[in-house]
Amino acid sequence: MPAAQAHKIDAHPQVYCEMINLHRAHDRRAHMKIELAQAGIEAEFHPAFDFKQSPMEVLQQRTKAEGPWGPFHTPNRAVTISHALAWERFLQTDASHCLIFEDDIFISPDLGEWMRDLSWWPEGADIVKFENWRSNKLKVLLDTKGSDFLGRKVSRMLSRHMGAAAYMLSRDAAKNLLRTEPFDMVVDHILFNINASRAAGAMRIYQVHPAMVEQGNEPPNGTIYMGQRIRPTGLALVRQKLKRGYYELAYPLSTVWQAITGSAKLVKVTFEPTVPTAPRPAQPDSE
């Protein structure tokens, strides 16, 4: 296969798109419909799992009360179930790929064009992350053998990068993620904590950079729906810090070698709504 075609798949695949949104979060839903329209994207809105109104037996069946770092807090358990429900709805369709959003995001206006042409999708990829995590210090280890599309790069992600506000996954990825139930960590970690998550560690995950999505876009004077997070103290806090420290260092030797040899580099992933793009090559006449 010629190098130029290495990442080319069906030029017009069907993409199922869903935005995670609580039924009672009318303000966020209206705000996000405007954001989606500006990007040329249509998304399904199904009621997310609501920890204040949904059956608690479902929460207990699909998630664990304790995770690798201690208590798995109820709001985080509910968010994780909401993503799992979206994965299940995707698998009930004939779509080849699924784009998942959370309902507090800024979206680049060119993301709609990315959905109309999936020639950029890396061969063998399971998940592609469009979001950047808002942190001044975080850098992500990315393989340098990335591809280019419309002024952005798509590179394999080799280190942790939190946030589950905008990502795309294949059918196999959705099936593999659902096999890991009951979930014992929040969806961000399940998807993008490569060392801590069995599912993430077994998949090929890619990052679009500069990113096309960033969280923080909430309606003016909007309601807070997540509830208050209870932070551990004492020995529980020590245990959490030790565990997280371990997972920050527990990279396979192959990843360490890539970093040493320069075939992977730490990158500060930033959100850029627009980027300069080279003109597309002229299409040959069909006659």
Return the CATH number at 76. 3.90.550
Q: Does residue 283 lie within any of the structural domains?
A: no
Model confidence over 24-73: pLDDT tens digits?
999 999 999 999 999 999 999 999 999 988 888 999 999 999 888 788 99
pLDDT band at 253 (very low <50, low <70, confident <90, very high): confident
Report if residue 60 sits inside a domain. Answer: yes
pLDDT at 84: 98
Decide if 272 is inside a domain.
no
Residue 255 lies in a domain: yes
pLDDT at 44: 95
Supply the pTM of this predicted model: 0.86
Nearest-10 crossing angle of helices 171-178, 74-91: 140
In a domain, 9, yes or no: no
The more confidently predicted of residues 118 and 233 is 118
What range defines the domain where residue 236 resides?
14-219+231-267
226/47: higher pLDDT: 47
DSSP secondary structure letters along 110-167: THHHHHH-GGGSPTT-SEEE-B----SS--EEEES--EEETTEEEEEB-S-----SEE
Q: How many domains does the chain have?
A: 1
Query: What pLDDT does 244 receive?
Result: 63
At 67 the pLDDT is: 86
Average pLDDT, the chain: 87
1-12 pLDDT, tens digit each:
333 333 333 334
Q: How confident is the model at residue 147 (pLDDT cuts 50, 70, 90)?
A: very high
Is 158 a domain residue?
Answer: yes
Give the C-alpha separation, 60 to 107, whole Å: 34
Predicted local distance difference test score (pLDDT) of residue 208: 98
Is the pLDDT confidence value at 239 over 70? no
Is residue 6 situated within a structural domain?
Answer: no
Residue 148 has pLDDT above 60, yes or no: yes
Report yes or no on 7 lying in a domain: no
